[in-house]
């Protein structure tokens, strides 16, 4: 694989600052090398401050393209929309409107929306090229999910699609979702996994051990050719 490292931030503010820096460097390097930087964003509360700090930096914004790692089955203006949340966090950055490529979480046909997003990705990256994001952010849930690959659902093992529709989990109060699958996540040039708080310590440790991905879906991030950075605060990083 493309290497793996763990960075430990003293607190939430440093985690956000380091996260913004890593994303900014990946964007600048991609624009230098290929004239465009393609970024895929996760939702969740942890990356929000990093996105806000990123938006305040000076970057070749007009040469960036923004995609989503996962989306909840809600409209873009819904408070739980990952697209809506990231757009608010990035509001200060002068990114042209047509550079945002959101997943259609509000679609009544989520399987169709997943297939549509896959076609969009293939078209943006070039039909003959692999879909490899320059930087992709990830979180990890208390149940060890990453993106919308939830444990015990088989989702982490999907390899025949780039994008999947994930059924609702009513027992957990979760709406259906759209998500990038493991093969796309694994091939991103930089996979940035952000986690903070003592509550994430156990699942981070689990995800770093090899084993069945259906039990601990976040394990999928360690596969593939991309470089993996675990960006943790001190509480999430502590062993034991």
**Interacting residue ranges for ligand 6PG, rule: CB under 6 A:** 42-46, 69-70, 82, 139-141, 145-147
Burial class (CB in 10 A: 0-12, 13-18, 19+), 33: exposed
Listed in sequence order, the residues at least 6 apart from 136 whose beta carbon sits closer than 8 Å to its beta carbon are 39, 40, 41, 42, 69, 180, 185, 188, 190, 191, 192, 226
Residues 163, 182: Cα–Cα separation, whole Å: 9
Question: Which residue, 31 or 164, has its beta carbon nearer to ligand 6PG?
Answer: 164
Shortest Å, Cβ 220 to ligand 6PG = 12
The DSSP secondary-structure symbol of 153 reads S
Shortest Å, Cβ 209 to ligand 6PG = 19
Question: Which residue, 70 or 233, has its beta carbon nearer to ligand 6PG?
Answer: 70
Shortest Å, Cβ 146 to ligand 6PG = 6
Question: Which residue, 1 or 45, has its beta carbon nearer to ligand 6PG?
Answer: 45
**Cβ-contact 150, 2 below 8 angstroms:** no
Question: Which residue, 42 or 64, has its beta carbon nearer to ligand 6PG?
Answer: 42
Shortest Å, Cβ 33 to ligand 6PG = 27
Size of the chain in residues: 240
């Amino acid at each position: 694989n493309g290497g793996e490292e763990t960075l430990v931030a003293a607190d939430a503010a440093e985690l956000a600052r380091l996260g913004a820096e890593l994303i900014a460097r990946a964007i600048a390097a991609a624009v230098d090398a290929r004239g465009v930087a393609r970024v895929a964003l996760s939702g969740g509360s942890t990356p929000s401050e990093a996105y806000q700090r990123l938006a305040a930096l000076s970057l070749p914004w007009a040469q960036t393209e923004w995609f989503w790692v996962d989306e909840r089955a809600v409209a873009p203006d819904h408070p739980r929309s990952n697209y809506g949340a990231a757009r608010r966090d990035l509001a200060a950055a002068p990114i042209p409107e047509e550079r945002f490529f959101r997943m259609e979480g509000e679609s009544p046909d989520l399987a169709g929306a997943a297939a549509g997003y896959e076609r969009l990705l293939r078209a943006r990256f070039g039909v003959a090229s692999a879909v490899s994001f320059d930087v992709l952010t990830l979180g990890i849930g208390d149940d060890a999910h990453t993106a919308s690959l939830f444990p015990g659902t088989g989702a982490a093992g999907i390899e025949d699609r780039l994008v999947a529709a994930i059924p609702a989990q009513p027992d957990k109060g979760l709406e259906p979702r759209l998500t990038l699958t493991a093969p796309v996540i694994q091939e991103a040039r930089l996979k940035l996994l952000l986690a903070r708080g003592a509550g994430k310590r156990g699942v981070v440790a689990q995800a770093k051990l090899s084993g069945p991905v259906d039990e601990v879906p976040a394990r999928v991030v360690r596969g593939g050719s991309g470089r993996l950075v675990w960006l943790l605060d001190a509480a999430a990083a502590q062993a034991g």
